[in-house]
Structure 1
Amino acid sequence: MFSGGRNLFRILSVAGMEICWLYAILLLAHHKGCDRCLFVAALFIFYPLAFGIQRFLLYKRNPLLRHVLSWLLWLICAVLFTGLISDEPFGFRMIPALVKKVFSLASFPSRELLTLAASAALWGCGKRLARIGGDNSVLLSEFQFGTFMLLIVFFLDSQWKLALDGLVSVTMVFFLFALTGLPANLLQGGSGWDSAGRKARWFSIIAVAVGIVLVAGLLVGSIMKPELMNEIVSLVEAAGRFVGRVMAKIIAFLMSIFPEPEPQKFNLPMPAPSAADRDPSFIVKLFRIPENVRRIAGMIVSGIWIFLFLAALWSLSSALFKWLLQRISLSNGVEVETLSGAFREDLIALFKAVFRKLDRLFSIFLGFFGIRRLRAIGSPEKVSARSVYRQLLKWGLRKGFPRAKAQTPLEYLDLLAKKLPGGYGEYSLITSGYVEERYGRSAPSPGVVERVVESWKTLKRKRRKSLNRQDAKYAK
């Protein structure tokens, strides 16, 4: 399934990032879930064990048989591991006792339940690691998801005031794997600027840059202590008071220039005193917010800020990955098809997809009460053969067969047909539609564009069905 050192480097990078955020989650469960009852380090034996077993089971052609055998082996290993750490005597009577402890409501969540859940999560991640293919976007997805999980752990740690030991160190190691794995995986195994003669220089630049970033983060974290932050805040407050006094003196000087107005007397009727005026604490009690409401509101606001930060980090990492991929492609003479306004169209399409998903869930919710909604028939989205061809180029690049600058669309069609067989009809229809739209005198008819879009959907379905067969073939 994996060939060469490039896939091995990708596996190590993904495994390093996964182990970091999994360790952070288990550390949180270790302190909060069962009062430090988990053997966190020993649980990670399930991760490489699942990876090795899944790699061995890839020789089996039946995917259902692979999954059943894998999870059956997990159940055996998990029961043995839980029995070793429990207080029950080892034997046949151990299994009923473990079942009672797992489903016991008095001690929920019990140590046995958390151990089984943690081992299942590690086993599933190990199986996923064994099925990683040659797509470079796997590293980016793992980095984005791992960052999201670490932010959740940090947020819960601050809300529960746990002060987890080693959480900052685990985060630094996570970013070390991410910062070295993302660019190095792109630079390894290519030609041009990442060829054998220049590979050492580029890897040294990556190592130095990552070292500078991590050292700078450690220095900032060690320098920015609460005492120093209080001093900085006090200096800012003193500067603000000084500026306020200066502004007050300037305003007083300007007011002294103008003559004072003559005092006039106005006879206004006195309002009748009320109970609220006689007792000022009435208004304070009326607008007092309960402590639990304030705490929930604080958590909601903190969650909104975390979501905004994560969205910015997600967008930045995606843009950085695309820039690196484009730089390597341009240096190797690869043709990149660009479209003006493509990012705006992708963003609009994302919001439309989210809205359609929410609308479908809302309709399902109303369906439980026997309420049916009248749906308006929306007009289909405006797509073009050029945008579909751009997706085909990106897909071919991820599969390791980019289009060179000197290649014509028809030559690239022959390359795809040879390297990625099974979809020549779809390749041909998409390429012909692209050539007609870009180089023709007039835009293609809506029927041609519709056939191009259907060909792309058919091609994606074909590749999805052949994924399991390719896994078994490459494993040999």
Structure 2
Amino acid sequence: MKASWSRMALYITIMGMECCWLFAILSLVNGLVLQGRLSIIGLLALYPIAFGINMLVARLKLPKAYLNLISWLIWVGAMLLLVKLQIYGSLALWDQSWLRAIPAALRQAPYDFQPEVLLFIGSIIVWWLSQRLVHLKTDFPRLVIEFQFGIPMLIIAFIISSYFAGVLEHAVFIAVAFFAFALSGLSISHAQQTDSPIWQIYRGRWLGILIAGISLVIALGMLSGSAVNPDFFERILNIAKWAWGVAVRALIWVANLLPTLGAEPSSDLLGGIDQDVFIKPKTYIFGISESLRSGLRFALAIFFAFWFIFALWRISGQVLNWLSRRLASMAGVETESLSGAFRSDVLRLAKCILARFLGFMVFLRRGRKTRNLPPEVASIQQLYHQMVRWAAAKGCPRQPTQTAYEYQAHLVDLLPEFGEEFNLITGQFVSARYGSVVPGRDELSRLRQSWRKIRQIRRKSLA
């Protein structure tokens, strides 16, 4: 019961954070485009209702495609009811005029943004977020991701609203509510991780850390609120305009130094011939055609994107190495190389995109139902793959024709003093991978200890 209540509390905190930045963005659109004709609070009231409906739908023993179909069919009815209550409340329910107004407003959306369009788009976002929240894993990393995503959304909304007085009201209340939900969710999720070594170290200081964090956030909020104002952003914008003007003048000066390709014929050489009979070719900047310029722009974008990604890679690698050195003395903490983690993440992203792309085939044929691996089985498989990559880096790769036990026997021949560790890791991997045996916490702890012993081998080569 305690776990269910804590999980529901985490659902509420995530829902609260998302409602805060959604309220800020939708209020901006409502105030700037629709002059405040809609009730954004009424639109966001759909979120908890949609979450409850999707929770009930998820309990049905049906394929995922049919569950999504049922959920979005319910959304159609909820969206129509929302439009009826907020815009056409004076009309009768059986009056068809308000039903015909919705598709008409959607067709005119590129030319005239009507309130029906905002309710349509907003209800889609709210319904999708509620459906996503049902299947979301409520843990500490997820709360951190939600917090990191909500912060820039609020900052963008607050910056835009600073140029339009009276559009976004109660901005301070929105920020305070967002941080209150975020800090509450982070504290609850962190309190659930009782097996974390960091939690074991700072368990007695967690309340003090939470109070200090809240005090720091409030102090920084008051400081930024007194320093950041429209005049501050106006000065930054003026500096950016001045820098852009200097760069443009420098480019024009460099362009004037380049010779032009091909000069027009002189009027003296043409004599009395009318110059209009000559068709002047289309001139290009720097004498470069438009097609070549497009290719150069694309190549330049690829060049800058490559160096940007490379810089992020180097920074991330340095940060990870620093964390590895700091956490090396802590028991139970394991780090993975950035190359291995990046490769696994890219493969996981490619598989996810491919699965999404092929998901529409479910409506055409009934495929084999995929099985989600338990976290314990996934941990064992990851640990075994790390051992295989470690042995391959030492000059002993696993051949495609070798089974797990054949590869284990080969490793034991090379390192007989670590035969027990190799036997334990391989046996648990085979049982979990092919026998669907879920190990316990003690067995996982023994596996991690065996893997740490193997990694302490200082030999550069096993061959």
How high is the TM-score relative to the length of structure 1? 0.51
Give the 3 Å change call, closer, same or farther, for CA 139–79 of structure 1 in structure 2: same
- Residue number in structure 2 paired with 1:217: 220
- Residue number in structure 2 paired with 1:149: 153
Task: Report deviation, 1:100.
Answer: 2.2
Give the 3 Å change call, closer, same or farther, for CA 415–38 of structure 1 in structure 2: farther
Task: Report deviation, 1:75.
Answer: 0.6
- Residue number in structure 2 paired with 1:26: 26
- Residue number in structure 2 paired with 1:450: none
Task: Report deviation, 1:346.
Answer: 6.5
Distance 2:348 2:196 in 1: 39
- Residue number in structure 2 paired with 1:371: none
Give the 3 Å change call, closer, same or farther, for CA 101–156 of structure 1 in structure 2: same
Per-residue CA shift, 1:378-397, capped at 9, x if unaligned?
xxxxxxx98952999xxxxx
- Residue number in structure 2 paired with 1:114: 118
5+ residue gaps in structure 2? 233-307, 350-381, 390-419
Give the 3 Å change call, closer, same or farther, for CA 189–409 of structure 1 in structure 2: farther
What does 1:107-256 correspond to in 2, within 5 Å?
108-133=112-137, 135-158=139-162, 164-188=168-192, 190-191=194-195, 202-221=205-224, 223-224=226-227
| 2:13–2:185 CA contact under 8 A, matched in 1 | yes
Distance 2:388 2:163 in 1: 43
Distance 2:196 2:132 in 1: 33
Task: Report deviation, 1:41.
Answer: 0.6
Give the 3 Å change call, closer, same or farther, for CA 422–154 of structure 1 in structure 2: farther
- Decide which moves more: 29-38 or 345-354: 345-354
Distance 1:433 1:50 in 2: 46
Task: Report deviation, 1:413.
Answer: 6.9
Give the 3 Å change call, closer, same or farther, for CA 48–216 of structure 1 in structure 2: same
Determine helix, strand or coil for the equivalent of 2:136: coil
What does 1:445-460 correspond to in 2, within 5 Å?
none
Task: Report deviation, 1:211.
Answer: 2.8
What does 1:30-49 correspond to in 2, within 5 Å?
30-49=30-49
Determine helix, strand or coil for the equivalent of 2:30: helix
Per-residue CA shift, 1:258-281, capped at 9, x if unaligned?
xxxxxxxxxxxxxxxxxxxxxxxx
Task: Report deviation, 1:227.
Answer: 12
5+ residue gaps in structure 1? 230-307, 355-384, 393-406, 446-476
- Decide which moves more: 39-48 or 412-421: 412-421
| 1:188–1:194 CA contact under 8 A, matched in 2 | no
Task: Report deviation, 1:182.
Answer: 2.8
Distance 1:344 1:166 in 2: 46
Per-residue CA shift, 1:315-344, capped at 9, x if unaligned?
99xx89x97xx98x987x5242x46xx458
What does 1:338-357 correspond to in 2, within 5 Å?
338=335, 342-343=337-338
Distance 1:138 1:390 in 2: 28
| 2:21–2:154 CA contact under 8 A, matched in 1 | yes
| 2:140–2:189 CA contact under 8 A, matched in 1 | yes
- One-letter identity of the residue aligned with 2:194: G
- Residue number in structure 2 paired with 1:364: none
- Residue number in structure 2 paired with 1:276: none
Give the 3 Å change call, closer, same or farther, for CA 9–421 of structure 1 in structure 2: farther
- One-letter identity of the residue aligned with 1:27: S
| 2:421–2:451 CA contact under 8 A, matched in 1 | no
Determine helix, strand or coil for the equivalent of 1:99: helix
Give the 3 Å change call, closer, same or farther, for CA 220–50 of structure 1 in structure 2: same
- Residue number in structure 1 paired with 2:295: none
Task: Report deviation, 1:157.
Answer: 3.0
What does 1:42-57 correspond to in 2, within 5 Å?
42-57=42-57
Task: Report deviation, 1:114.
Answer: 0.5
Q: 2:91 aligns with which of 89, 94, 101?
A: 89
Give the 3 Å change call, closer, same or farther, for CA 32–59 of structure 1 in structure 2: same
Q: What RMSD in Å do the two structures reach over aligned CA positions?
A: 5.4
Give the 3 Å change call, closer, same or farther, for CA 115–18 of structure 1 in structure 2: same
Give the 3 Å change call, closer, same or farther, for CA 413–52 of structure 1 in structure 2: farther
- Residue number in structure 1 paired with 2:332: 334
How high is the TM-score relative to the length of structure 2? 0.52
| 2:384–2:429 CA contact under 8 A, matched in 1 | no
Distance 2:422 2:160 in 1: 52
Task: Report deviation, 1:189.
Answer: 5.0
Per-residue CA shift, 1:130-174, capped at 9, x if unaligned?
111255421122122222322332343346666522224322322
Question: Percent same amino acid at aligned positions?
Answer: 20
Q: RCO higher in 1 or 2 (8 Å CA, sep ≥ 6)?
A: 1
- Residue number in structure 2 paired with 1:296: none
Distance 2:114 2:387 in 1: 52
- Residue number in structure 2 paired with 1:71: 72
Distance 2:183 2:199 in 1: 21
Task: Report deviation, 1:52.
Answer: 0.9
